[in-house]
Amino acid sequence: MNGKTIGIIGGGAWGTAMAHILASGGHDVQMWALEEEVVSAVNYEHENTKYLKGIPLSLKLHATADIKQAASDKDFLILSSPSLYLARTVAQIVDIPSIVNGSTCIGVLTKGFIPTDSGAKLILDVLETVLPFAYHKNLVYISGPSHAEEVAQGKLTGLIAASENPKNSIRFRELMKVPGLMVFSSLDVVGVQICAAAKNIIAVIFGCLDAIAEQSNMFGDNTESLLLAAGLNEIQTLGFAMGATHAETFTSIAGVGDLEVTCRSKYGRNRRFGRDIILQNILDPFSDLENLIARISEIGYLPEGAVACKYVQEISRKLNIKLPICSGLYRILNKEIKPLDFLIELLR
């Protein structure tokens, strides 16, 4: 399935990496970025100097500041804007004829939850209310252990393409059959989305633990593995409570695979945020979690787990399930408990 036209909505690190590897694989790729400097750098320097610095990009990748141009008349459209802005971004393209008639197959890379008037929702649930009815149960959610830096460098990466429409899952699997990617199909769109969002919460706590372990003999590799296992258990508990359909989702690359790389990789923003909480006192300027989310751009990078933990706390209370690690990060970011005190409480 070479030579397809693809639009990428979102010029961050992950969107750029996906755009680059698909363009390198022979597809015609156009990427929309909000920032003019990103568009200019991609088109003229062939590098995303803001979000993916130091990695040369395919000459076949073109960027634009016109979102309708990027989304119009494409065989495939891939959404990668941050969850905080995804719904309002997608609302700008719903009147495009190729979207209105459903002829463009749409996949989603964004991880997290989206707030609504009736509470936090999974990403595909919200997008189905924003996009034309043709996309109801036809969207494809793409996730897996996939740091943008390594994907862009062509290092072999495995992904899951999940959809309630198996044909669309297979279409994306075939589209992404390019050097550097292995893609597997799944029907468990809820489970894959939960894994993608909740693992960021565990990774922030993992970063805290990792930094504290450098400063004392209290914790070590054994402790980190204990936290990973406990974190995976919470992700599975949340997943099944929200309607996940396949237990193997949590033991696949969508679950344990993505959790492990997010927690341990040097590229992980959420792990970095956890370490910065301990080593850089990065929470000091913020009064509570709401204040942190409102001013999150001041961090200098986006720790998705900080936002996700607010919504998981809301969901867990509504569903009456206990998620000690997720709840613990909420309490830490809300200035209710110190990270070390929480970890001692959790692990004893």
Give the 3-state secondary structure of residue 208.
helix
- Longest CA–CA separation in the chain, Å: 61
Any idea what the Cα angle at residue 21 is, between residues 170 and 86, rounded to 5°?
70
Between CA 264 and CA 247 the distance in angstroms is 24
Q: Which residues contact 147 (CB under 8 A, 6 or more apart)?
A: 261, 265, 267, 268
Q: Indicate the SS3 state at residue 289.
A: helix
**Residue listed under structure tokens 């508990």:** 237
SS3 202: helix
Distance CA 52, CA 40 (A): 14
Cα–Cα distance measured from residue 146 to residue 154, given in angstroms and rounded to the nearest whole number: 11
Query: Is 4 a residue of the active site?
Result: no
Name the residue among 242, 258, 244 with its Cα closest to residue 321: 242
Catalytic residue among 74, 121, 199, 310: 199
3-state class of 157 per DSSP? strand
- What is the token pair recorded at 346? 């959790």
* Burial tier of 317 (Cβ tally within 10 Å: 0-12, 13-18, 19+): exposed
Distance between CA 325 and CA 201 in Å, rounded? 8
DSSP 94: T
Instruction: Give catalytic residues, as residue numbers.
Output: 199
